[in-house]
Amino acid sequence: MVEKRLLYIVVGALAMLIGSWRMNISIFYRHLMSYYNIGTITVLTIGFTISAFVSIFSSYFLGFVYDRKGISTVLYIGVITQLFSSIIIYLMRFYPWSFAAWLWYIGNGVAGLGFPSLMLSINPMIMRIFSRRLDIALAIIQSSSYLALTLWSPIITKLVSFMDVFTVFLILSIVSVAPMILCIKICGDFSNVQKRKQNKIEYGDSIPKLFILLLIPIFFIALSSTMLLQFIAQIVTDFYKMFGIEESTALQHHTPFAISVSGVFQTLGAFTWGFIAMHIGALKTLPLLYFFEATTMFTAIELSKHSLETAIAMLWLRFFAFGGEPVTHMLLIPTLFGQENIGKLLGMQTSVVMTSLVIGPVIGGLARDLTGSFITTAYLSALLSLVAFVAALLIVIVQHLKFYSRLN
């Protein structure tokens, strides 16, 4: 049984690592702009917004499907939408932008239907089969998606240098569905129905009020992190510009290195914060995690006026905390609400995160446009982390007061 659980982790991590190549979709933008002679990038980024918007609703649906049908059905949806989306986008090559734009938006919309399929199949499966060492298991799975940024970025860059962007998109889609099918084959026999544990509250089909309250700080922290992730290159570059380094030099040499190292810190954070959450409780970990994120971001901004190296180091610590967000959030579900409806609850949680993907870039972009600096975007990200901390702290305090009142 232990060997089979390890096999589930390996196959799941592989599927996440290879299937997360779409996180690097921004690499395609420059080539598409050149192919169609487009002067603005906004018409392309709308595709990502559409995909994220569709994912808000598909996340809840896929979580519901997982609870009723199991991992295989969710992954089949992911496979079909991935392939269908890539075919639609491949057909863009035969049309002018006036029509190809609609194919781009439709293709991204279809991708949004199945985009959360990996998260809402592999993660709930892992959450069901690991009663012990769940933090490590989830950290391994989550780290795979972090490492995907580092893995796929040079590969995609190399491929588009000697193949057209549409062919590369289609090839990557075909390659990415292979581990998903392998996951279906190996993990498909996993039983979705387990005996309810006696020490868990049985909520049936209702949504616990505490879970709904927790979605509030989760939304604010996701919004904070989304803004940081979307504009990290520009924020880091502005840091360097404050010390007299030209923008072109920073973008070519310094910024890529800073971003690459942040991926390592995210991986370390997934394991560290997962360990903390398992030992002191996921609920208690939330305000600690969010406070750490707020203070490191505020400190990074202030230090950027005096010491570039320490400012970048604090920014890496912010990513260290960000790496612990998904693991800690997922641990809330089995530790507080049991195994019942785990897919539906995780789907709702994912929908909240997807909502931040739609709103975050808009708010962050407006903050920069109104002030002329991405440092303002960084300040706003830090402020949202602080709001998340206050909300999480209030929830923890109220829960403790309720606990002690019951004792008395």
SS (H, E, C) the chain: CHHHHHHHHHHHHHHHHHHHHHHHCCHHHHHHHHHHCCCCCHHHHHHHHHHHHHHHHHHHHHHHHHHHHCHHHHHHHHHHHHHHHHHHHHHHHHCCHHHHHHHHHHHHHHHHHHHHHCHHHHHHHHHHHCCCCHHHHHHHHHHHHHHHHHHHHHHHHHHHHHCCHHHHHHHHHHHHHHHHHHHHHHHCCCCCCCCCCCCCCCCCCCCCHHHHHHHHHHHHHHHHHHHHHHHHHHHHHHHHHCCCCCHHHHHHHHHHHHHHHHHHHHHHHHHHHHHHHHHHCHHHHHHHHHHHHHHHHHHHHHHCCCCHHHHHHHHHHHHHHHCCHHHHHHHHHHHHHCCCCHHHHHHHHHHHHHHHHHHHHHHHHHHHHHHCCHHHHHHHHHHHHHHHHHHHHHHHHHHHHHHHHHHC
Sequence spans of domains, the chain: 2-187, 209-407
pTM: 0.83
- Would you state the pLDDT for residue 197? 40
Structure-block tokens of residue 352: 């909240």
Please write the tens of the pLDDT for every residue from 244-289.
777 666 666 677 777 778 878 998 999 999 999 989 999 999 999 9
Pick the CATH number of 209-407 from 3.40.190.10, 1.10.10.10, 3.20.20.70, 1.20.1250.20: 1.20.1250.20
Residue carrying the six token digits 């750490």: 292
Using the predicted structure, report yes or no on whether residue 293 has a pLDDT greater than 90. yes
Domain 2-187 and domain 209-407, same fold? Reply is yes
Span 359-374, average pLDDT: 83
Residue 201 has pLDDT above 50, yes or no: no
> Does domain 2-187 bear CATH number 1.20.1250.20?
yes
239 or 380: which carries more pLDDT confidence? Answer: 380
